Chains A and B, each alone.
Chain A
Amino acid sequence: MRYAETGYNLEVDLSRGNIEKVATDPRLTELHLGGEGTAAKILWDRVPPEVEPFSPDNLLIFSAGLLCATPVVGANRTIVSTITPRNNLHKSSIFGGYFGPELKHAGYDKIVIRGKSPNLVYLWINNDKVEIRDASHLQGKGALETGELIKQELNEDKAQVAAIGLAGENRVLLATIEHFNNSASRGVAPVMGDKRLKAIAVRGTKDVNIARPAELYGKFMPMYQEIYNNPEAGDVCTLRAYEGTPGLAGGMLADGVIKWHLENFSWGNARERIKDYWSKERKERFLAIEESSQRRRTGCYNCPLDCHFQISYPGRQTYFTKCYSPLTYLMGAYKELDFNYDILGVTQEYGLDGYSTPQVLAFAVELYDNGILTDEDLPGFPSDNGERFFYLVEKIVRREGVGDALANGISLAARQIGRGAEKFDHNSIKNIEQEPLKLGRMNYIYYLMYATGAKASVVQIEGSYPQVPIPDKSKREEYVKKWDAAPERFKKYFLEWEPRQRPSIEEAVNICDWNETMHYIDDATGICAFLSSFNGQWGPRVPYHIHNLPDFISHATGMDLDSDKLWEIAARNRNLVRAINVRRGLRRKDEDAPEDHWKERDYEMRAKLLDAYYEFKGWTNDGIPTKGKLDKLGLDYVSKDFIQMGILTGEEGIPSKESSAEKKQK
């Protein structure tokens, strides 16, 4: 019997209309856990580098995390993996809610979609009965509206639906897959649109088995209560919106996260910070708008926290906010909260990413203001910034006129538009818009995370090590005493960290490695990053960490696991994703932070950091995993391919520094 997982994937070929239930190899769970990890294995095996993102041969994989549907609190993530048209590289994007657990109960760990349907369709998975159904009547329907319409026509209130809106249907690269209060962004939805798959509806009524019931249950109730009562757990953007918790994150969250974002993130096309923006009057105005439009806070499956606001703005369909999405449009357009709530009512139903889209809109406004886009490109372009945003959204989701270029995101659009537009593309990495942060002093750890991350967004990489030090040494000592999450070396770094002091290169490399490792674990297990990989930075009490996760995973799955083994699995997944990208051409030349991210432009230090990080990872100086590293992780089949393709000679050897650093951690 398989525990925690179902042991089956659903293989759907939309070109032929073929559906198969395929048993999976349990050894892959031992090697990769599940989620993004096992999906990367499928992408490596079945999507050769010459396959274009919009080819029928590209795969779109929906994976329920390994622990979804078990009693492990907050394990509810669905991971969508594919080759994205944003940059022709591997991308996985994660969404919460109920979809992953429902898929498990239907009897599947993954849905692997290949081919391309001739007409718009949706997939209906009802346990063993799976149908590809016509969706022509759903064309152009809103993403959440589609979910409701499908549930009605199936007469299945309990079905869970993930759907794209008009943006995804039109292969807008900024599109999202929407499910209840969550969405998958960063370039996976356009592949769903390209396959002409409007939605997936799933209903499952089967058991998911637990290997060690008594042990896991013994951990469930205490963890459920701990997460509810832990001020460091959950999405601080919503849970600490106006009133922060002074002790958290070295005071970073003391005045609430809304103020922090408004004053520290940049407005417009990632251009300027407005310090002292926040005031008592503004706060009152914001709260009044929220009071009139927020109805309820909602959570995800099997988690006591309610990190999402349900918004009902006059004239708009109900939607749910995520993270700091209530601020991204207003900051892009220099507006206020009512504008943001209003436009989200439109963009959520079109299925547009709330982080990239406002930056693309601000970029277009900047191009117009600088005469690069003209009235010929934008006939009847309004003068008000807010109206301009609404105008541009309509052009983008329909790919009309210049909207066709803008729909591809800033980097690709800038190249398509030309006329000097490239100069205004200043905040992207690997063609993907980054958080609009523009700061003074270079941060070594963040440089590495921005440059080398495979997740396209720093929030999907950062999170275990605090962002700021604690000035008072005795408080630091107290912190470290309570810090169960941290392997010993990070406690040492933190104890010695004085204000304004920068980490050594070795420290930066190790911290980057720890941060990303935790995300690779979550993205395999399906545990929410707000309870784990992202939230270690706020304080010492993060619910899940490298030292307690092995027990949860072992009790649920029956696997024999400890912290070192878990770390190794994360490294294996990291390297396999890296290998997919290397095989598709990713090299050192592609890895950098946005040039103006920091005023301090220390190019020499940037190079030194990359050198050290690659060496630590067991990669060549060009960022390619070496044969030694790959073989050690059991990825021999990758090194064999690399040598055959001439990517490696095989003579690169096992880098010595990395293995000694790995030993040190133990």
Chain B
Amino acid sequence: MNGEKKKKVIRTINIDADKCNGCRACEMICSAFHASPKYSSTNPARSRISVNFDPLNDIFIPVMAGEYTASECHGRYTIILDGKKYKECAFCRASCPSRDIFKEPDSGLPLSCDLCEDLEDPSLEEPLCVQVCQNDTLTYEEREEEMVEEEEPGDLEIGLEALADKYGLEKIMDTVARMSISKKG
């Protein structure tokens, strides 16, 4: 599969941070959609979008959870833009050891935005955060691009990878083996 050129739909959420009023409905509804059963609970800490804000400095930046990273960056950076000083990591999408966002609060496992992919639900042509955002801070766009396609890792794989980074693959395999024996026993 790898290396083959294919047409791929690129799905993009455009963020116009100047329009954000900080209502955080995107966080609320994201957490409700990903709850199990669906919509049975809310918890912005489990949301895959986070409005990073610093209201006294007029900073409201919605950021969607990107990839999990096992270690934090070497060194950090801050940005001053239009006279506003943005805090470290303000724009970063990573689920990263340096901070709490984009992790399941109980397990610490990483979260990643899946653009609300639900093939069975036609009302989800747009991610819910975009649907709920009335003032168009978040807008959605799809376009086709020819590119080398790689298989995307599923939730389980992302979670296992995080655990493997933390404990080592061998320890996880041992634990899984032990668990399966004790279940059988």
Q: What is the interface of chain A, defined by CB distance below 8 A to chain B?
A: 69-71, 73, 98, 101, 105, 144, 148, 157-158, 180-181, 204-210, 213-214, 216-217, 220-221, 224-225, 228, 295-306, 310, 312, 317-318, 320
> Of A158, A206, A225, A297, which is within 8 A of B21 by CB?
A297
User: A304 near B23 (CB under 8 angstroms)?
Assistant: yes
> Of A158, A207, A214, A302, which is within 8 A of B25 by CB?
A302
For A210, what are the chain B residues with a Cβ–Cβ distance below 8 Å?
32, 39-42
User: A71 near B29 (CB under 8 angstroms)?
Assistant: yes
User: B43 near A207 (CB under 8 angstroms)?
Assistant: yes
> Of A204, A209, A220, A300, which is within 8 A of B40 by CB?
A209
With A and B bound together, what is the CA distance between A301 and B132 in angstroms?
A: 13
With A and B bound together, what is the CA distance between A216 and B28 in angstroms?
A: 13
Residue of B nearest to A304 (CB): B134
A-B contact pairs, 11 of them (CB 8 A): A71-B29, A148-B56, A204-B45, A206-B45, A208-B43, A210-B39, A213-B32, A213-B35, A217-B38, A303-B23, A318-B57
User: A214 near B39 (CB under 8 angstroms)?
Assistant: yes
User: A213 near B38 (CB under 8 angstroms)?
Assistant: yes
User: A207 near B42 (CB under 8 angstroms)?
Assistant: yes
With A and B bound together, what is the CA distance between A210 and B58 in angstroms?
A: 33
User: A302 near B24 (CB under 8 angstroms)?
Assistant: yes
For B22, what are the chain A residues with a Cβ–Cβ distance below 8 Å?
298-299
User: A144 near B56 (CB under 8 angstroms)?
Assistant: yes
For B28, what are the chain A residues with a Cβ–Cβ distance below 8 Å?
71, 301-302
B135: interface (CB < 8 Å): yes
With A and B bound together, what is the CA distance between A213 and B41 in angstroms?
A: 8
User: B35 near A301 (CB under 8 angstroms)?
Assistant: no
User: B42 near A69 (CB under 8 angstroms)?
Assistant: yes
With A and B bound together, what is the CA distance between A643 and B38 in angstroms?
A: 52
> Of B35, B43, B58, which is within 8 A of A295 by CB?
B58
Residue of B nearest to A224 (CB): B132
Residues A310 and B58 in contact in the complex (CB < 8 Å), given A70-B42, A71-B32 = yes
User: B56 near A317 (CB under 8 angstroms)?
Assistant: yes
Residues A298 and B21 in contact in the complex (CB < 8 Å), given A207-B35, A208-B41 = yes
With A and B bound together, what is the CA distance between A318 and B84 in angstroms?
A: 13
B69: interface (CB < 8 Å): no
- Majority-rule SS of A interface residues: loop
Write the nearest CB–CB distance from B107 to chain A, whole angstroms.
Answer: 12
Q: How many residues of B contact A (CB 8 A)?
A: 36
B37: interface (CB < 8 Å): yes
- 8 Å CB contacts to A: which residues of B60-110? 60, 87, 100-101, 105
With A and B bound together, what is the CA distance between A228 and B131 in angstroms?
A: 13
Residues A205 and B105 in contact in the complex (CB < 8 Å), given A224-B132, A228-B134 = yes
Residue of B nearest to A69 (CB): B42
Residues A304 and B135 in contact in the complex (CB < 8 Å), given A144-B56, A204-B45, A295-B58 = yes
User: B39 near A302 (CB under 8 angstroms)?
Assistant: no
User: B134 near A224 (CB under 8 angstroms)?
Assistant: yes
> Of B39, B41, B55, which is within 8 A of A298 by CB?
B55
Write the nearest CB–CB distance from A566 to chain B, whole angstroms.
Answer: 23
User: A213 near B40 (CB under 8 angstroms)?
Assistant: yes
Other 16 A-B pairs with CB < 8 A, given A213-B40, A302-B28: A105-B43, A157-B52, A157-B53, A158-B100, A205-B46, A205-B105, A206-B45, A208-B43, A209-B40, A209-B41, A296-B60, A300-B23, A304-B25, A310-B55, A317-B56, A318-B57
User: B21 near A306 (CB under 8 angstroms)?
Assistant: yes
B44: interface (CB < 8 Å): yes
With A and B bound together, what is the CA distance between A210 and B37 in angstroms?
A: 10
User: B40 near A105 (CB under 8 angstroms)?
Assistant: no
Q: Which of B54, B132, B135 has the most CB of A within 10 A?
A: B132
Residue of B nearest to A73 (CB): B25
Q: Which of A207, A209, A306 has the most CB of B within 10 A?
A: A207
Write the nearest CB–CB distance from A105 to chain B, whole angstroms.
Answer: 6
With A and B bound together, what is the CA distance between A55 and B54 in angstroms?
A: 37
User: B42 near A208 (CB under 8 angstroms)?
Assistant: yes
With A and B bound together, what is the CA distance between A5 and B100 in angstroms?
A: 25
Residue of B nearest to A312 (CB): B58
> Of A71, A148, A180, A301, which is within 8 A of B39 by CB?
A71
Ranked 5 nearest A-B pairs via Cβ: A205-B45, A205-B105, A213-B39, A207-B41, A228-B134
With A and B bound together, what is the CA distance between A26 and B87 in angstroms?
A: 43
Residue of A nearest to B44 (CB): A105
With A and B bound together, what is the CA distance between A95 and B53 in angstroms?
A: 20
For B18, what are the chain A residues with a Cβ–Cβ distance below 8 Å?
296
User: A157 near B87 (CB under 8 angstroms)?
Assistant: yes
Write the nearest CB–CB distance from B21 to chain A, whole angstroms.
Answer: 4
Write the nearest CB–CB distance from A409 to chain B, whole angstroms.
Answer: 29
Write the nearest CB–CB distance from A633 to chain B, whole angstroms.
Answer: 32
Q: Which of B23, B37, B53, B101 has the most CB of A within 10 A?
A: B23
User: B45 near A105 (CB under 8 angstroms)?
Assistant: yes
User: B24 near A225 (CB under 8 angstroms)?
Assistant: no
User: A217 near B32 (CB under 8 angstroms)?
Assistant: yes
With A and B bound together, what is the CA distance between A572 and B18 in angstroms?
A: 45
Residue of B nearest to A74 (CB): B23
User: A181 near B24 (CB under 8 angstroms)?
Assistant: no
With A and B bound together, what is the CA distance between A272 and B117 in angstroms?
A: 62
For B23, what are the chain A residues with a Cβ–Cβ distance below 8 Å?
299-304, 306
Residues A217 and B42 in contact in the complex (CB < 8 Å), given A71-B29, A71-B32, A296-B58 = no
For A158, what are the chain B residues with a Cβ–Cβ distance below 8 Å?
45, 100-101
Write the nearest CB–CB distance from B108 to chain A, whole angstroms.
Answer: 11
With A and B bound together, what is the CA distance between A317 and B58 in angstroms?
A: 12
Write the nearest CB–CB distance from B98 to chain A, whole angstroms.
Answer: 11
User: A318 near B58 (CB under 8 angstroms)?
Assistant: yes
With A and B bound together, what is the CA distance between A379 and B52 in angstroms?
A: 48
Residue of A nearest to B132 (CB): A224
With A and B bound together, what is the CA distance between A299 and B135 in angstroms?
A: 12
Residue of A nearest to B131 (CB): A221
User: A213 near B45 (CB under 8 angstroms)?
Assistant: no
Write the nearest CB–CB distance from B81 to chain A, whole angstroms.
Answer: 14
For B40, what are the chain A residues with a Cβ–Cβ distance below 8 Å?
209-210, 213
User: A221 near B24 (CB under 8 angstroms)?
Assistant: no
Write the nearest CB–CB distance from A641 to chain B, whole angstroms.
Answer: 40
Residue of B nearest to A127 (CB): B105
With A and B bound together, what is the CA distance between A210 and B87 in angstroms?
A: 35
Residues A180 and B105 in contact in the complex (CB < 8 Å), given A213-B39, A299-B21 = no
Write the nearest CB–CB distance from A543 to chain B, whole angstroms.
Answer: 14
For A297, what are the chain B residues with a Cβ–Cβ distance below 8 Å?
21
For B101, what are the chain A residues with a Cβ–Cβ distance below 8 Å?
158
Q: Which of B18, B21, B41, B45 has the most CB of A within 10 A?
A: B21
For A208, what are the chain B residues with a Cβ–Cβ distance below 8 Å?
41-43
User: A71 near B42 (CB under 8 angstroms)?
Assistant: yes
Residue of B nearest to A225 (CB): B134
User: B41 near A220 (CB under 8 angstroms)?
Assistant: no
With A and B bound together, what is the CA distance between A220 and B26 in angstroms?
A: 12
With A and B bound together, what is the CA distance between A300 and B22 in angstroms?
A: 7
With A and B bound together, what is the CA distance between A140 and B38 in angstroms?
A: 47
User: A205 near B43 (CB under 8 angstroms)?
Assistant: yes
For A180, what are the chain B residues with a Cβ–Cβ distance below 8 Å?
55
Write the nearest CB–CB distance from A472 to chain B, whole angstroms.
Answer: 33
User: B39 near A216 (CB under 8 angstroms)?
Assistant: yes
